[in-house]
């Protein structure tokens, strides 16, 4: 049975997608955050809430918040929600003043994959 070039290309694409798909979905991606990325909030939050695409290991995860002056904001211990292992809460030990804040996060998912990212929000 002879394979045409288009059949061979289709087969190659199918085989590659079988092996690549688990890798793409094996990392925890930030799905939502509170305050939201690029949002301007009227009141300073008392904590940040980050929701990921899969369960997170809080012992190997962390969040750093940088204020408008470039200094790190003091935070409490990062905790995982008791009912949903995809949600991390970061308590803030100080009240945020008006300005733009940078949030840099790194997490290890329950399947041991590492991911990181960042976003900004503004307190009015």
Residues 92-121 have pLDDT tens digits of: 999 999 999 999 999 999 989 999 999 999
Instruction: Classify domain 27-123 at the CATH topology level.
Output: Immunoglobulin-like (2.60.40)
The pLDDT of residue 10 is above 80: no
Residues 97 and 75: their CA atoms lie apart, in Å, by 15
Residue in 55, 50, 38 with CA at minimum distance from that of residue 75: 50
Q: Tell whether pTM > 0.85.
A: no
């Amino acid at each position: 049975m002879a394979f045409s070039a288009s059949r061979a290309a289709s087969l190659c694409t199918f085989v590659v997608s079988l092996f690549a798909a688990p890798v793409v979905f094996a990392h925890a991606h930030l799905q939502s955050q509170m305050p939201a990325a690029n949002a301007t909030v009227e009141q300073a939050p008392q904590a940040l809430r980050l929701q990921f695409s899969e369960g997170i290991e809080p012992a190997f995860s962390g969040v750093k918040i940088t204020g408008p002056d470039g200094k790190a904001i003091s935070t409490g211990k990062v905790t995982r929600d008791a009912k949903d292992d995809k949600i991390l809460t970061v308590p803030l030990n100080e009240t945020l003043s008006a300005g733009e804040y940078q949030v840099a996060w790194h997490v290890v998912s329950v399947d041991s994959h590492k991911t990181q990212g960042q976003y900004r929000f503004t307190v009015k």
